[in-house]
Amino acid sequence: MSGLGNILKKELKELMTVQTFLPIILVALIFGSLGNSISGIQEQAKTPPTIGIITEDNGTLATMATNVFHTYGHVVYNGTTAADRDTALATISEKNGAALLIIPQNFTTNIQHNKPGTIQVYWIMKGAGLFDSIPSSAVEYIIATANTNISRHLISSNSSINATVVLQPTTRIDSTTFKGREFTGLSPTIITGMLTSQALLIPIVMMMIIIMAGSIVITSMALEKENKTLETLLTLPVKRTSIVTGKIAAAAIIGLLLATIYMIGMGYYLNGLTSSGGVNLATYGLALQPTDFILIGLSLFITLVAGLSLCMLLGTFAKNFKSAQTLTFPITMLALIPMFLTMFADFDTLPLGLKALTFAIPFSHPMMAPRILLFHDYTLYIAGLIYVAAFAILTISIVVWIFKTDRLLTGSTSKWAKLLTKRRRRPF
């Protein structure tokens, strides 16, 4: 065999380990199932938006607009008086619709007298993710099409209406119902945009901390093995629990220091956001209070402990510094998945499978916390906190158990089954 062939064979043999392939295979499986669920959401988004229409005006331009709504939307309510608004909204909501469009009296007359015709839009917003905003964007597109058609009509009929009104013959008055609250003057697109940008930094901060502190823990275990200090450590009069929690706590402190640095920057960023875009979010009760920040911090801390316990568990598989680097990959992916999920869709509007996956990944909870707390959904917050705490306790217990077995030193997994059958006696 040639020198190159010999080296290649040796390198491949060294690299083709379970540790190298298992994380990638797991991530591929997760992405596969994620892709299937997301394509389902996208298919759903292609269908015409479900809307309701109330037309109080019988004029030509109002009829023209109504025709557009019928052509491009799936109309589930068709009324003639704004007094039926609540009934209409109830019907649309029942049919999982996106909005009620009301064309009031004098719509046509107003435009003909150089005043834009008003379209009142009552939005029913279900979630604040990017996917959730697809139906409202579709409705906005329908309204824009009606606007364009009216403009074309006015231009082709050589009317004496002034150019500004011809170019923009309609104006919109928005009112959005979201999570039981009504936001007058705001459309779902604006709310989603603001909430997304406001809640975006928490997932990024969470991801950064988990990746940084996580790699500290995994590397620490790997270095104990590589530097041959683990055997000595395990023969010292110190409880296995103390070794595990000591390592986790040290990484958590470093992680929190990093979080503090990020949070300072984020604080300034959020201050800027709450009054950005000419809309003061605080006016609508959409600004986080100091208590909310404490609760986010608590969620962040418990998740950090849970995440680091998971890293510690992975660290027990690390043979050396090189394999530790590979093991940080699944943690990174676990942090990325909820980040994208919470960015694209609201937890409430996720399909059941994705909802379960999002809830099961501990890192999701602090990422969801700002939005949850903004809308006072304390049940979901507390459930998440309890789940993450239980996850942390369980993972730490598994790690401590591994520390009490031979696995840490021998690297063998075949004995685990025997250990479970309690046929062997082990000191601890």
Partner 1 sequence: MTETVTVKNLVKHYGSFEAIKDISFSINEGEIFGLIGPNGAGKTTTLRVLATLLSLSSGTVTIMNNDLVKNAGDIRKFISYLPEDAGAYKNLTGRAYLLFIANFFEPHHCKEMVTRGITIADLGARIDDRVDTYSKGMMRRLLVGRTLMTNPRLAILDEPTSGLDVLNAQEIRKLIKTTAQTGTTVLLSSHNMLEVEYLCDRIALIADGKIVETGRPQDLMKKYNVRNIEEVFIKVVHQ
Interface residues with partner 1 (CB under 8 A)? 227-229, 231-232, 234-239, 405-406, 409-410, 412, 414-415, 424-428
Least separation in angstroms between CB 411 and partner 1:
11
Least separation in angstroms between CB 232 and partner 1:
6
Nearest to partner 1 of 46, 425 (CB atom)? 425
Map residue 286 onto helix, strand or coil: coil
Nearest to partner 1 of 46, 423 (CB atom)? 423
The residue written with tokens 């824009």 in the block is 144
Report residue 296 as tokens.
């986010």
Nearest to partner 1 of 43, 428 (CB atom)? 428
Least separation in angstroms between CB 229 and partner 1:
5
Nearest to partner 1 of 234, 343 (CB atom)? 234
**Residue 206, CA atoms < 13 Å, CB-side half-sphere:** 37
* Residue 26: other Cβ atoms inside 10 A: 14
The residue written with tokens 């199932």 in the block is 33
Nearest to partner 1 of 184, 232 (CB atom)? 232
Least separation in angstroms between CB 425 and partner 1:
5
Least separation in angstroms between CB 253 and partner 1:
17
Q: How far is it, in rounded angstroms, from Cα 97 to Cα 79? A: 15
Least separation in angstroms between CB 318 and partner 1:
16
142 contacts 208 by C-beta, under 8 angstroms: no
Least separation in angstroms between CB 315 and partner 1:
16
Q: How far is it, in rounded angstroms, from Cα 159 to Cα 327? A: 71
CA dihedral 188, 194, 198, 204 (to 10 degrees): 80
Nearest to partner 1 of 8, 238 (CB atom)? 238
Nearest to partner 1 of 84, 406 (CB atom)? 406
Question: What is the Cα gyration radius of the chain?
Answer: 29
Q: Which of 340, 201, 208 lies closest to 269, judged by CA?
A: 201
| Sheet (strand 74-79) strand order | 74-79, 50-55, 99-103, 117-125, 170-178, 181-184
Question: Backbone phi, then psi, for 427, in 5-degree steps?
Answer: -80, 150
